[in-house]
Amino acid sequence: MIREPLPHDSAELHVAGEARYVDDLPEPPGTLFAALGTSAHAHARILSLDLDPVRAAPGVVTAITARDIPGKNNIGPVFPDEPLFAADLAEFRGQPLFAVAATSVELARRAAQLARVEYQPLDPVVTIEQSLQTGKVVHPTLTVTRGELSALKNASHRLGLKLRSGAQEHFYLEGQVALAIPGERGEMLIYSSTQHPTEVQHLAAAALGVPDAAVTVELRRLGGGFGGKETQAAGFAMAAALLARATGRPVKLRADRDDDIIGTGKRHDFLYQLEVGFDGDGRIEAVDLMMASRCGLSNDLSNAVNDRAVFHCDNAYFLPALKVVSHRCKTNTVSATAFRGFGGPQGMFAIEGAIAAIARRLGVDPLEIRKKNLYGEAPRNVTHYGMTLKDNVLPQLLEELESKSDYRARRKAIAAFNAKNQYLKKGLALTPVKFGIAYTNIPMNQGGALVHIYTDGSVHLNHGGTEMGQGLMIKVAQMVAAELGVDVERVHISATTTGKVPNTSPTAASSGADINGEAALAACRVLKERLAPLRAKHPEHGLAQLARAAYNARISLSAAGYFRTPEIQFSREKFLGEPFYYFAYGAAVAEVAIDTLTGESRLLRADLLHDVGRSLNPAIDRGQVEGGFIQGMGWLTMEEVVWDAKGALLTHAPSTYKIPVASDAPPVFNTWLWESGENVRDIAHRSKAVGEPPLMLALSVFHAISDAIGATADTRDPVPLEAPATPENILKALCVLKS
Ligand code: MTE
Ligand code: MOS
């Protein structure tokens, strides 16, 4: 069962359209439908808000503002710094000011447009540069240093770079949605498409002014989250719950796609300034790095996201001397949030740019520079946050990929192609990934599960994790089935609910199978122990007979399991410790062609070699590796989030925002789960977290494009390509490089 490539437990339901998402649940009689009324300005004082026309509109039952919230007007998950409904000050265009409930979705959305709002517009701060000038941040700047930065001045070679990586819209298939059903004595049942039911529960309870225990949040699955529903599902659920409280009727709030894109946070885009010193062989001696990110109006998860960028600014390389300054810029844009990789991809982006620039300066293949700078033997095995690598498999993995992908021969073939072709140029790149596994906020590294065995031997499985398509449920079910010695079909996967497993962490940081799987195993072990005497007496019994016998002997067939990740520790003040339980590793080779006249690019071939440890389910893991890679390619090549000077988001629909589709997958697409992979930690059957790390394999695509651009000019200057490598940015880089 373990390590079998079983299909996703809902695969057939997905295909048949039978998998139920929140919007598919039968609506209780009397259900009302909600819409949000939002700010027309990115930055403005709200002088007055008149909802009379809204309330008078057809079908409207009620409309509520900040003043109608009985409890706390706050959606800030870590720092209470963002209101659900803005009252006096609007801080981004699209910020909710009120919510309306009506008898149909259409009527609610129409009514929401009718509010009379008087604004006093203020100057918006939209860009990172503007924010750096004002000095406004959502959290104090973090500076981390290691070694002597004087090594930079003394280095025989030096170069400076200014880089940029773009934001990214999650574009989950299922938009933000919640259905709130009021009960007796202040109870509220909320079906929410959230990665973090517990947080929705707590924030909704605080807004309603009731104890956490009165609110239950439940969901069977999300139609994709990608980090976009880690914190930002809460506002929708809270608005639905408040309207349900105000009307005494069930209320459903499902955001229209444009409103969803405008009203929810994206990946943080980053601006980088760096200086790197290196020797004649391309070995890095010192790095001085400034990173600044667009956080939007509030903290949300920006602190943790930017910290993770700092943790990953080394990617896979030993940096003997380093100074990182990380600014968390406050802007009048929607609050940026978690997105697959959680700042890790942004952190790695700069150092990979530096490596490519060093290679160009020295006139050697970037792969040589990458290999020379990989973490290796002591003392070159300690990160800038003081963690000693005990599981670094990259030197071996890179060698394997280089040979599996036929890198050398293709490098030559591409050089020959480029010599012959004037307008089409090809490029090649091999990039590594090292990604730390654990929530960097230490208390979050815990999980719970609840397992019942019924007297027919069927098993009810519940845990704190949420299913968003990543295959968490089937993985945990496989672990439970193996532990209890039953077929996986006997394990019934059930909806995630705060009523069964409380105080959970979000399903995030790729830790789902680790913490929920181990918690479920802990529950199974308790059950097995209770059944052991009966098993000894009746070795021939299957689980059904054992369960029946246990019931008759009055032995409990239900157990809660709990797991916390051992050993990890970290001091944020010193920025030192062992914040990660282990690392996930991988590498990718990308080959691209660009058209130097139009700036178009095409991924021709990708070879991915990824370490998932000893895979729990190779079919699921392969899907995560391929899907993550393609999503990362979208971030780095075609997905472009654009705000205008007034802070209006211009890219809020598929007409203006382009994500990869099936035909963007490369015609030659090799994905290998690394066969020698084995987690040095004894967790989840020595598998490794796989949800996020493969996204960063797509750095290879960006660098292959950059390599192709580089082939057009015989200079030693860095290729000035900004991410995303859209046709415009590719053309710009071609022009700048030639001039
Ligand atoms: N895969 C699918 N199909 N849909 C998703 O929303 N989210 C990703 C990743 N893979 C996601 C996905 C993100 S951001 C994370 S953190 C992990 O899945 C979370 O699940 P896990 O911890 O079970 O890997
Ligand atoms: Mo994933 S960005 O940790 O939800």
Question: Span 495-500, mean pLDDT?
Answer: 98
Query: What ligand is nearest to the CA atom of residue 475?
Result: 1
Cβ-based neighbour number of residue 534 at 10 Å: 19
Q: What is the pLDDT of residues 593-649, one digit of tens each?
A: 999 999 999 999 999 999 999 999 999 999 999 999 999 999 999 999 999 999 999
Q: What is the pLDDT of residues 657-689, one digit of tens each?
A: 999 999 999 999 999 999 999 999 999 999 999
Query: How many angstroms is it from 225 CA to the middle of ligand 1?
Result: 7
For the CA atoms of 691, 610, 629, 608, the dihedral, rounded to the nearest 10 degrees, stands at -160
pLDDT at residue 739 in the model:
84
Q: Are 624 and 673 spatial neighbours (Cβ–Cβ below 8 Å)? A: no
Q: Are 715 and 739 spatial neighbours (Cβ–Cβ below 8 Å)? A: no
pLDDT at residue 205 in the model:
98
| DSSP three-state, residue 650 | coil
**pTM listed for this prediction:** 0.98
Q: What is the pLDDT of residues 287-346, one digit of tens each?
A: 999 999 999 999 999 999 999 999 999 999 999 999 999 999 999 999 999 999 999 999
Question: Span 413-436, mean pLDDT?
Answer: 98
Candidates 290, 193, 172; CA nearest to 235 is 193
Closest ligand 1 atom to Cα of 222? 6
**Ligand 1 pocket check: which of 174, 232, 340, 473 to mutate, most ligand atoms within 8 Å of Cβ?**
340
pLDDT at residue 259 in the model:
98
* Whole-number Cα distances in Å, 574 to 127, 254, 309, 310: 30, 44, 17, 13
What percentage of the chain exceeds 90 in pLDDT? 100
Q: Are 352 and 149 spatial neighbours (Cβ–Cβ below 8 Å)? A: no
pLDDT > 90? residue 19 = yes
pLDDT > 90? residue 381 = yes
pLDDT at residue 52 in the model:
98
pLDDT at residue 629 in the model:
98
Q: Which tokens sit at 458?
A: 């069927």
Q: What is the pLDDT of residues 57-115, one digit of tens each?
A: 999 999 999 999 999 999 999 999 999 999 999 999 999 999 999 999 999 999 999 99
**Ligand 2 pocket check: which of 168, 268, 340, 467 to mutate, most ligand atoms within 8 Å of Cβ?**
340
In the block, which residue shows the tokens 């309603």?
A: 208
To the query of whether residue 106 is one of the catalytic residues in this protein, the response is no
| DSSP three-state, residue 303 | helix
pLDDT at residue 1 in the model:
86
* Whole-number Cα distances in Å, 226 to 229, 263, 265, 397, 491: 7, 16, 12, 27, 27
pLDDT at residue 60 in the model:
99
**Ligand 2 pocket check: which of 171, 199, 230 to mutate, most ligand atoms within 8 Å of Cβ?**
230
d(CA 169, CA 336): 10
Q: What is the pLDDT of residues 151-192, one digit of tens each?
A: 999 999 999 999 999 999 999 999 999 999 999 999 999 999
Q: Are 484 and 527 spatial neighbours (Cβ–Cβ below 8 Å)? A: yes
Q: What is the pLDDT of residues 214-256, one digit of tens each?
A: 999 999 999 999 999 999 999 999 999 999 999 999 999 999 9
Question: Span 573-599, mean pLDDT?
Answer: 98
pLDDT at residue 350 in the model:
98
Candidates 211, 264, 303; CA nearest to 75 is 264
Cβ of 507 closer than 6 Å to ligand 1, yes or no, is: yes
Tell me the pLDDT band of 396, cut-offs 50, 70 and 90. Answer: very high
Cβ-based neighbour number of residue 436 at 10 Å: 24
Q: Quote the distance between the C-alpha of residue 429 and its chain's center.
A: 25
Rounded to 5 degrees, what are φ and ψ at 416?
-65, -45
Mean pLDDT of the chain: 98
- Residue of 218, 285, 483, 692 marked catalytic: 692
Query: What ligand is nearest to the CA atom of residue 693?
Result: 1
Query: How many angstroms is it from 11 CA to the middle of ligand 2?
Result: 22
Q: Are 395 and 677 spatial neighbours (Cβ–Cβ below 8 Å)? A: no
Query: How many angstroms is it from 582 CA to the middle of ligand 1?
Result: 18
For the CA atoms of 82, 88, 90, 94, the dihedral, rounded to the nearest 10 degrees, stands at 80
Cβ of 227 closer than 6 Å to ligand 2, yes or no, is: yes
Candidates 172, 165, 48, 58; CA nearest to 117 is 48
d(CA 119, CA 117): 6
pLDDT > 90? residue 497 = yes
